[in-house]
Amino acid sequence: MSMGRVLTEEFQPDVLKWLRERVDLVVINPWMEPERWDIEVARVDAVISRKGKITRDHLERSGGRLKIIARTGVGVDPSRVDLEAAKEFKIWVTNQPGSNSVSVAELVFGQMIALARHTHAADRAVRANRWSEYLKFTGTELAGKTIGIVGMGNIGTRVAIRARAFEMGFLVYDPYIPESHVTALGGRWVGLNELLAAADFVTIHCPLTAETKGMIGGKELKLMKPTVYLINAARGGIIDEQALWQVLNGKKIAGAVLDVVENEPPEKDHPLLQLDNVILTPHLGAMTVEAARRGEWGAAEEVIRVLEGSRPKNPIFVADEARLLMPA
């Protein structure tokens, strides 16, 4: 007997098979079928989502039927899920802390090497029969450099561990963790301005909140070395994109990699797309087989717990009290 109707995105086959044995399953790619997604969100008992949006309108149209929104990733971006509306309607919202930490940390180092060794530009040169220009792509080593980590949660900690393996020093800015956590790993806890001024690489790993929105703006970017590389694999709104365009366009910093932008996908005429010293990827941080398995299985199990009448393991807030447990 079915436990209810559940909407999911296109997940791994074994996850979907397991769910189909328990619920009536509706599978939709919200990027490819946004209108169908919009209709079905209001017709189900649970939603398991990676990228799909859940708005106040969806929750109002649900009429109290929707019991849980289970996110497969670490973050619960307010632009993806209307948390205030979910609290108001007392709907569980869950995430999967730690599920993508290794994947994001590994991507950061891949991006750092691509920046430091100019591999993207060199690839384009070879394809254009400009092999002889190889001296233009002389890079720099990571060893001996300093990485500044903004946000020392699960992902930031994994980045710090890998920095030591690359023989890098690291600075950390995170007002919500004890200094002892940083020093135990061999780093130094500093203020944001000191980190930005001293680091050779700056990588962002904090959630997007009212406090962090626009945290890296024009003033902060001007503190950075002209040789610095900036990496953002967290959330796009944390960096002021207009200010970033100005420093990149003016060659005031060496370059940037953005796995996220404020509005995804970006408009085709987005100014940052026109620059040759920025690498953009389509929010790939968690996009590995391993992270997907952890996140999808974890979210699927949360849905079944709630449909069985139990409380989920990783709630963002307590649904029956509408009390926030942790920042989104």
User: For every one of its 328 residues, what pLDDT tens digit does the chain have, with 9 covering 90 and above?
Assistant: 799 999 999 999 999 999 999 999 999 999 899 999 999 999 999 999 998 999 999 999 999 999 999 999 887 777 789 999 999 999 999 999 999 999 999 999 999 999 999 999 999 999 999 999 999 999 999 999 999 999 999 999 999 999 999 999 999 999 999 999 999 999 999 999 999 999 999 999 999 888 999 999 999 999 999 999 999 999 999 999 999 999 999 999 999 999 999 998 899 999 999 999 999 999 999 999 999 999 999 999 999 999 999 999 999 876 665 544 544 3
The catalytically annotated residue of 43, 61, 106, 264 is: 264
Residue 205 is a catalytic residue: no
Catalytic (active site) residue 235? yes
Report the alpha-carbon distance of residue 49 to residue 95 in Å, rounded: 10
Catalytically annotated residue among 71, 158, 205, 283: 283
State the amino acid at position 244 in one-letter form: L
Q: How many beta carbons lie within 10 A of that of residue 90, not counting itself?
A: 14
pLDDT in tens, 102-113: 999 999 999 999
| Structure letter (DSSP) for residue 220 | H
Site of tokens 């941080």: 285
Question: What domains are there in the chain, each with its CATH number?
Answer: 5-99+289-324 (3.40.50.720), 101-280 (3.40.50.720)
Q: Is the pTM of this model over 0.75?
A: yes
Q: pLDDT tens digit string along 122-170?
A: 999 999 999 999 999 999 999 999 999 999 999 999 999 999 999 999 9
From the list 9, 235, 301, 302, the catalytic residue is 235
Return the structure tokens found at 3.
């436990």
Confirm whether 58 is a catalytic residue: no
Alpha carbon distance 37, 64 (integer Å):
18
